[in-house]
Amino acid sequence: MTTINQFASITNNMAFISGSIGDLAYQFKEVAERTALDDANIDLLIATAEQLILQAQALETIPYDPTPAPPEEVMSEGAD
């Protein structure tokens, strides 16, 4: 499968994001109260996650339909 590297990269990135969200949860619970800017960034994070979900779901609807290779040009004899 030629897509395994992309899936591995996405999985690694999602694990990193999950860890960062956990870090934020700790910060909000133990270190400092959320600010209005934090809430706005959380809303942006949610919107981005929802868009990624839609894009991932759309992958399941893409049919395999490779574009044909263009025909090879025939070079005339003596053409430079």
Running along the chain, 80 residues long, what does each successive block of 10 average in pLDDT? 92 97 98 98 98 98 94 65
Q: What is the pLDDT of residue 29?
A: 97
Q: What is the pLDDT of residue 72?
A: 84
Query: Can you give the residue ranges of every domain in the chain?
Result: 33-59
For residue 53 the two structure tokens come to 């979900």
Residues 14-33: tens digit of each pLDDT: 999 999 999 999 999 999 99
